[in-house]
Amino acid sequence: MTTKLRRLLVSVLLIPMFAIGGLAVPASAAPAPAGASHGRSPADDPNADIKDRLAAIPGVTITEEKPTTTGHRYFLATYTQPIDHFRPWLGTFQQRFSLLHRGYDRPTVFYTNGYTLGTTPSRTEPARLVDGNQVSIEYRFFTPSRPDPADWSKAGIRQGAADSHALVTALKRIYQQEWLSTGASKGGMSSTFYRRFYPDDVAGTIAYVAPNNTDRYDYSAYTEFFRTVGTPECRARLNAAQRELLVRRDRLEPRFIADNKAAGSTFNTLGTPDRAYEAGALDVIWAFWQYSLESDCAKVPVAATATDDELYAWYDSQSGITGNSDQSLAKYTAYYYQAATELGAPYFDVSYLRDQLHYDYLELYSARSYVPKEIPTVFNRSAMPEIDRWVKREGERLMYVYGGNDPWGAKPFHLGRGSEDSYVYTVPGGNHGSNIGKLPAEQSAEATAKVLEWAGLGDQGTARSLAKSQQSIPPFGPLDAEGQRLEQERRPL
């Protein structure tokens, strides 16, 4: 059986089903609303206003249109999704998405946001490069895109991929040029998952800083990263400052407790303020390399001479004083649930802190510790290895961009013999905000040309020429920073 035939059969088997008149019917084959037909529905009228076309798509509800300063149209909306795409009779929920409209004749970029949806107009890098439309989806079970009551067993990879497939299929009725998918961090993982189960939905995928934890407790790769990242001097300075946070625990933790009390924080998930403080101290070095550059080592407090105020302020800048409170963690329950059941979590050697720790490191730093106790978790050991095998054996038109000093890149996706027209790039010294524009000039031009080619904007030669003029494309504006900020919130990916 050919690869294409296998994919056709898989895509048919995975089409979301909806019960209509007592029968299970593919969503794509569901009858049109009464009185609507091709050519009469505004959704099918290329001359209709985008707001009318969008509102006419079955399942879409527009909740708001926001102004832009660039001529784009920007909409916030919801789409009716099954709680379980493979058991549609279990009910539905409303999933948020946004649409940044550029034109019907432009490519469309599908942004698989791995977290909550940003509600301010902004463009991903691929959307800027191709000057296209952008559809952004909120990952299921992040509020408010959460069924009530929440059956957390429906929060995983397969259901999320089916959400993307259903929305993209619906919106292709409006946008009929090429589609690309993209995402950063957990969103980059989600864009890969989407392609795994629906490989022909889009022409290409650009995944940024997407980790690939193929084991529940990935240890060696992350340990090696922290042993070698940056200079020996920088690593020593960071380790000493981190250790000092625990050495001075008797003075710093009371401030931590008082500030959290003033903020109304509780610690039912992690258990106690003491556990929360220690978890934050364990996070500071990871957070430094995730967000900072090696040149920022000069700003790290010198353990031997730093005041309590300086150390406490540094702790706050890296981990956040309220970062491990119930109130902060609640925003990321859906992430921690997936990490505890499918995505796995990073572990690394902290033996240099052993004499200062109050708790078992593996237990305290596990994803399970960050999931509310009333939500059960069972880890699926095959979920990520199956995705990894697909990338290596069958993945096509995939692009991964990593930062050389980003800890999440310690376990990247690798290509294999079966990977076709696919690429992996690394920004030297880059952090978790690495992208195509930060690559060395030749690689940046090469990657940009490939994105343009996948978007149907010319063959390889034409795309390379166009890529040179695309390098200076301005962002949508300062609001583009919101998308990056949302993807870099600490502690999740």
The string of DSSP letters for 308-365 reads HHHHHHHHHHHT-TTTTSHHHHGGGHHHHHHIIIII-EE----GGGGGG-SS-HHHHT
Omega of the bond leading into 491 within 30 degrees of 0 (cis) = yes
| Residue 476 within a domain | yes
pLDDT in tens, 58-74: 999 999 999 988 889 99
Residue whose token pair is 């700003």: 299
Do 351 and 423 belong to one domain?
A: no
- 301 close to 311: Cβ distance less than 8 angstroms: yes
Do 103 and 190 belong to one domain?
A: yes
| Residue 21 within a domain | no
- Which pLDDT belongs to residue 15? 34
- 256 close to 273: Cβ distance less than 8 angstroms: yes
Give the integer Cα–Cα distance in Å for 168 and 148: 24
Do 276 and 255 belong to one domain?
A: yes
Do 361 and 443 belong to one domain?
A: no
- Which pLDDT belongs to residue 218? 67
Do 259 and 396 belong to one domain?
A: no
- Which pLDDT belongs to residue 29? 36
Domain count, the chain: 2
Do 309 and 413 belong to one domain?
A: no
- 342 close to 348: Cβ distance less than 8 angstroms: no
Do 262 and 334 belong to one domain?
A: yes
Do 44 and 190 belong to one domain?
A: yes
- Which pLDDT belongs to residue 345? 87
- Which pLDDT belongs to residue 468? 54
Domain limit, last residue, from 312, 339, 370: 370
| Residue 132 within a domain | yes
Do 272 and 333 belong to one domain?
A: yes
| Residue 9 within a domain | no
Structure-block tokens of residue 450: 């490939």
**DSSP state string for 264-277:** T---TTT-SHHHHH
| Residue 479 within a domain | yes
Q: Which residues of the chain have pLDDT under 50?
A: 1-39, 471-493
Do 205 and 121 belong to one domain?
A: yes
* Domain CATH for 71: 3.40.50.1820
Domain limit, last residue, from 340, 370, 400: 370
| Residue 269 within a domain | yes
Can you give the pTM of this predicted structure? 0.88
Omega of the bond leading into 67 within 30 degrees of 0 (cis) = no
Do 200 and 166 belong to one domain?
A: yes
- Structural domain including 324 reads 226-370
Domain limit, last residue, from 370, 402, 432: 370
